[in-house]
């Protein structure tokens, strides 16, 4: 088994966020369409937040640092 690389994991989350944005709408209408769009937004948000993380392994613990302040200092 290959060694765990937290930077590669973060990159996979960035790729997932981009994939959600490219995801085509299925041929649904009405309430199902709205539910699909809401889920896509939540998926994108979650993947994008994790894709912005800085990851490290400290004493065997995966640590993700995510700046939630919004001002990107």
Nearest to 20 by CA among 58, 56, 46: 46
pLDDT in tens, 8-53: 999 999 999 999 999 898 888 899 999 999 999 999 999 999 999 9
**In which band, very low, low, confident or very high, does the pLDDT at 2 lie, cut at 50, 70 and 90?**
confident
- Count of other CB atoms within 10 angstroms of residue 50: 18
Distance CA(42)–CA(16), nearest Å, equals 12
Report yes or no: 38 and 7 within 8 Å, Cβ to Cβ.
no
């Amino acid at each position: 088994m290959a060694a765990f690389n937290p930077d590669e994991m973060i990159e996979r989350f960035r790729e997932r966020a981009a994939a959600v944005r490219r995801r085509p709408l299925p041929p649904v209408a009405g309430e199902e369409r709205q539910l699909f769009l809401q889920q896509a937004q939540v998926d994108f948000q979650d993947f994008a937040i994790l894709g912005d993380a800085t990851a490290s392994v400290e004493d065997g613990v995966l640590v993700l640092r995510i700046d939630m302040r919004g001002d990107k200092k």
